[in-house]
Amino acid sequence: MERSRVAMISGSNRGIGAAIAHRLFHDGWRLSLGMRNPTMPDWVSDADSVHLFPYEATAGVEPTWVQTVNETFGRIDAVIPNAGIIVAKSVIEAEDDDLDAMTEVNVKAPRRLVKAAWPSLIESGSGRVVIIASLSGKRVASARTGLYSISKHAVVALAHALRHEGWEHGIRCTAVCPGLVETEMGRGLVPEPSKELTHPEDVARLVSLGMDLRNSSSVSEMYINCNDGEIY
């Protein structure tokens, strides 16, 4: 398989990020995987096509990461900000530090990463940004997730702002908004273990679709849920 396009994925060591990486590798992408503790995935069959970077969303290392990817692969065609955190508190229980922590990781870090890669995405001519947001960015499902929803509403707005900013350059941006997913974070939000949560691999399918659409087929938001609950 000839691999040409290059994607950067943050938070790719587990959960949704790991599933996205696996899917895109299968699709023929070369990957730069941002991880707190870089470890080569066991499914990698071509190590020259996968680059690891020690990424911490609060460290401001995005420009260095982008520079390293350009030096390694010579191009960047897609950025997938996936790293995120949740502080499961209501807006009354929470302190400013709780909101600041989620804003830093969930909103500021994705913006920094895309900004650093912007010249490369323009050069690609068909740059793609797929931000992993949440259905919590479309509605507030409970008091316990209210603070998280504030940060994810901002993430969805960021995706739309990037879509407008990059349109004339062939850059397309999509916010993928999953509900509860079978990850460590998702399991922590349900009272009992559930086999009915959305699988990370299904979120990865949506990301793959958004990456492969032509410039004339822009999708601003994609939703996926494990039940028939309201999106808005």
DSSP string, 9-77: EES-SSHHHHHHHHHHHHHT-EEEEEESS----TT-S-GGGEEEEE--TTTT-HHHHHHHHHHHHS---
Question: For position 181, what pLDDT does the model report?
Answer: 79
Cα distance between residue 190 and residue 22, in whole Å:
26
Q: Which domains does the chain have, with CATH numbers?
A: 6-224 (3.40.50.720)
Which of these ranges, 43-47, 147-151, 172-176, has the smallest mean pLDDT?
Answer: 43-47
DSSP class of residue 181 equals B
β-bridge mates for residue 40, sequence order: none
pLDDT in tens, 165-211: 999 999 999 999 998 877 666 565 665 556 678 899 999 999 999 99
pLDDT in tens, 97-106: 999 999 999 9
Cα distance between residue 10 and residue 46, in whole Å:
20
Q: Are 153 and 137 in contact (CB under 8 A)?
A: yes
pLDDT in tens, 106-116: 999 999 999 99
Q: Which of 55, 148, 223, 232 is catalytic?
A: 148
Residue where the block lists tokens 């995935």: 41
Average pLDDT, the chain: 92
Question: For position 151, what pLDDT does the model report?
Answer: 97
228, exposed or middle or buried, with CB in 10 Å at 0-12, 13-18, 19+? exposed
pTM of this prediction?
0.93
Tell me if residue 55 is catalytic.
Answer: no
Cα distance between residue 223 and residue 173, in whole Å:
14
Taking the CB of residue 175, how many other CB atoms lie within 10 A of it?
Answer: 27
Question: For position 2, what pLDDT does the model report?
Answer: 61
